[in-house]
Amino acid sequence: MRSFSSTQTIKSEKGHLISIIPYEERYFTSLLNMYDTYNPLGSVQGLPPLDKTKRHEWVQDMISRGANLLALYGDRVIGQASLFSMPVNWAEYFIFIHQDFQRQGIGTAITLYVIDWAKQESLSTIWLSVETKNYIAIALYRKTGFRRIGSSDGSWEMILTITEEQEAH
């Protein structure tokens, strides 16, 4: 899977200018800081990990395995999205927005960017898992076209089938 290549600037619902950029190594420390200050740790399917060493290893693993986007407020990383290759032209989607910047349209903008990119990459399906109690994320995923396909252990599995109809979102 190729990396993301273009950047985008959006205005959050609170008026903040947010840059959505492909991951760059120079933001690694700021990315770690976003997860280190996430509250509460371990609140989303056990993520981010509670232990600092494990948390930093987890971030490094995501960076090395996936195509990654960052959301920046100035030089501060306030969000991350990743796509991970799966068999049969699918990808797993992951997104985190720092709690200070949630409910401002940033997650929606990033998700729409990812969907557009997935279309250009000829992916057929984006899959994700989300806790049933994560109402903010579920609303975001439904709004951007994901649908529930199953559930287990307090989580929903959701997919988005990439089609030309996605352009309507």
163: domain CATH number? 3.40.630.30
Structure confidence at residue 43 (pLDDT) = 66
Structure confidence at residue 1 (pLDDT) = 62
Could you tell me if 31 and 60 are in contact, meaning their C-beta atoms sit under 8 angstroms apart? Answer: no
Structure confidence at residue 47 (pLDDT) = 78
As to burial, measured by CB atoms within 10 angstroms (0-12 exposed, 13-18 middle, 19+ buried), residue 29 is exposed
Q: Is residue 134 part of a domain?
A: yes
Q: Which residues contact 9 (CB under 8 A, 6 or more apart)?
A: 17, 18, 19, 20
- The pLDDT mean for the chain works out to 91
Q: Is residue 131 part of a domain?
A: yes
84 has pLDDT over 90: yes
Q: Is residue 150 part of a domain?
A: yes
| Full residue range of the structural domain in which residue 56 is found | 8-168
Nearest one of 122, 128, 120 to 145, comparing CA atoms: 128
Structure confidence at residue 88 (pLDDT) = 83
Structure confidence at residue 164 (pLDDT) = 54
Q: Is residue 2 part of a domain?
A: no
* Interatomic CA distance for residues 162 and 166, integer angstroms: 7
Q: Is residue 143 part of a domain?
A: yes
Q: Is residue 1 part of a domain?
A: no
Q: Is residue 39 part of a domain?
A: yes
pLDDT (tens digit per residue) in 153-164: 889 999 999 975
pLDDT (tens digit per residue) in 111-127: 999 999 999 999 999 99
E strands present in 16-145 = 17-22, 67-73, 76-86, 90-97, 125-131
Q: Is residue 114 part of a domain?
A: yes
pLDDT (tens digit per residue) in 31-69: 999 999 988 765 667 778 889 999 999 999 999 999 999
Rg, C-alpha atoms of the chain = 15
**At how many degrees (to 10) do helices 106-120 and 135-143 cross?**
40
